Amino acid sequence: MRLLDTLTNKLREVDPVHEGSIGIYVCGVTPYAEAHVGHAMSLIVYDVLVRYLRWDGNSARGYNVTFVTNYTDVDDKLIERAAELNCDPLELASENIDRWEREQVELGIVPPDKRPRVTGEIETITSTIEEIIRQGYAYVTTNGDVYYRVQVKNDYGKLSHREIEGLRAGTRGELGKDKEFPLDFALWKKQKPGEPAWPSPWSNGRPGWHIECSAMAQRYLGDTFDIHGGGVDLIFPHHENEIAQAEAATGKPFARLWMHNGMVQYENEKMSKSTGNLVSVAEALQRWHPAALRLFVLSSHYRGPNNLTEEAMGAATRGIERLEGALKPFKASPDATPLDPEGTRTRFVEAMENDFGTPQALASLFDLARAINRGRAEGFDLGLAQAELQELTSVLGLRLDNITFTEVKIDKIALADTASEFGVDHSGSEVESIITALIERRTIARTEKDFILSDEIRDKLATLHILLEDTPEGTHWSMQS
């Protein structure tokens, strides 16, 4: 598999440090507020990467993947926000993490293997800082802060492709109190009144932003590991500083390949809290199906920007329904010819191998869906083709089985009223059996050519978002968004 590596700016083959295994580290959120769809998009991308690498459907694959993503649960923003809300920053972080993890389940994210939090890794972090100081790449100020010394190694800026001089020109020229050089950044910050703090050799304080990821990635994946991911907005300074610190501490290369995903926009505008142009994951999950969100993410290339609009989500929802429709069961005659999914798998794999080309991979699946629908009309045995579609969509994490049935979405009272209206028994019945009974009532009406009644039943159910479709095998129902 080839991915565009930010460090070399070239397509590079994923070449595991340890044969057959791949370690992936992705920067997670700073949980000072609820997660938004940008966070969801990022995680969906890496979730699919992990699923694909683990998948054994491609002869060369089936890697043993270790996926690590962190929570930076001590941070300036978190402390500020907690002060505004007049609550404890660590509790605030914990609450936001819990909510985000519940949402991840709804989004169909395979739980990462490790989800370390800064507050649980203070010793890991302080020992990494000690090592960096020992190597001469960091210094302790009289105040008790620790700064990384950017100028010692000559490769600072290699990831974001910037020169120290250029960066320096962009600074405000203020040389922080004890900083040796404007670009030096904090590894450890001495506690200020009211802030959470932990003991360290230099002062009671907390880790700076950046060091946590270097320390945690190396703890869980080794000094050198395979893939480091995150949003493009993290390339500088976060990842640049991460790579500097990590390599300063060990003298070894850090991540072998750096992968960055693009940002999500909402209705053509940057998502930002200040303008209120932001969609939370909770809101997105309420408005759209998780599979539709995932299809939306995968239908554009991971590195490009992705513009979330009503229209795009409508298209994604229809796309899911289309894929789902192709998987509907079909009873072929015993002597039917099996439909051959032909080159679908090859196309799918080639697309994925080439810099994670999910849009093209999806195109191969939509083509297969069409072939299946055609084969259905022509009486082919669809088993093989449908199994293929099922397998490949599940590699992308698209849950298509019975996805439209969400009992909570059904207005049970209105449904019961509808049943009474048409003289159908609904006492103590399950939602599904009431619907089935209504369908039976309608089928009788249709047999009797009472199309006025049958249409009334169909229309009434439609107002409850229950869609009826008549097919040669009988009437099917599904939930409509």
Encode burial over 152-180: b for 16+ CB neighbours within 10 A, e otherwise.
eeeebbebbebeeeebeeeeeeeeeeebe
Q: Are 359 and 299 in contact (CB under 8 A)?
A: yes
Q: Is residue 299 involved in binding RNA (CB under 7 A)?
A: yes
Distance CA 206, CA 126 (A): 9
CA distance 83 to 194: 9
Site for RNA in 131-150 (CB under 7 A): 143, 145
Near RNA by CB under 7 A: residue from 21, 94, 360, 481: 360
User: By rule CB under 7 A, what string of x and - marks binding of each residue 209-248 to RNA?
Assistant: xx---------------------xx-xxxx----------
CB of 241 to RNA, least distance (A): 8
Residues 71 and 96: beta-carbon distance below 8 Å: no
Q: How far is the CB of 352 from RNA (least distance, A)?
A: 11
Is residue 309 within 8 Å of residue 267, measured between CB atoms? yes
Interface with RNA, residue 373, by CB under 7 A: yes
Q: Does 189 sit near RNA (CB under 7 A)?
A: yes
Exactly one of 58, 224, 300, 481 binds RNA (CB under 7 A); that residue is 300
Spell out where 243-364 has E strands. Answer: 255-261, 264-266, 269-270, 306-308
**Site for RNA, residues 402 to 421, rule: CB under 7 A:** none
Residue 167 interacting with RNA (CB under 7 A): yes
Residue nearer to RNA on the CB measure, 65 or 75: 75
Name which of residues 62 to 101 contact RNA (CB under 7 A). 76
263 strand-pairing partners = none
For position 357 contacting RNA by CB under 7 A, the verdict is yes
Amino acid at 401: D
Pairing of the two strands 225-231 and 255-261: parallel
From the CB of 413, what's the least distance to RNA, in Å?
25
For RNA, which is the closer residue by CB, 65 or 132?
Answer: 132
For residue 362, state whether it binds RNA (rule: CB under 7 A). yes
Q: Does residue 269 bind RNA (CB under 7 A)?
A: yes
C-alpha to C-alpha distance for 364 and 344, rounded to whole angstroms: 6
Cα end-to-end span (Å), the chain = 37
Q: Which one of 12-20, 61-69, 258-266, 429-437 is the stretch in contact with RNA (CB under 7 A)?
A: 258-266
Q: Does 102 bind RNA (CB under 7 A)?
A: no
CB of 269 to RNA, least distance (A): 6
2 binds RNA (CB under 7 A): no
Interface pick for RNA out of 134, 161, 252, 409 (rule CB under 7 A): 161
What amino acid is encoded at 170 in this protein? Answer: G
Nearer to RNA (CB atom), residue 65 or residue 389:
389
Q: Could you say which residues in the range 26-65 bind RNA, by CB under 7 A?
A: none
Q: Which two tokens stand for residue 62?
A: 């089936």
Closest CA to 24 of 253, 220, 281, 318: 220
Residues 6+ apart with CB under 8 A from 146: 129, 133, 138, 139, 140, 186, 187, 188, 202, 208
What DSSP character marks residue 381?
B
Q: Of 63 and 185, which CB lies nearer to RNA in the complex structure?
A: 185
- Kindly identify the residues of this chain, within the stretch 303-322, that bind RNA according to CB under 7 A: 303-307, 309, 311-312, 314-316, 318-319, 321-322
- Asked if 386 interacts with RNA (CB under 7 A), we say no
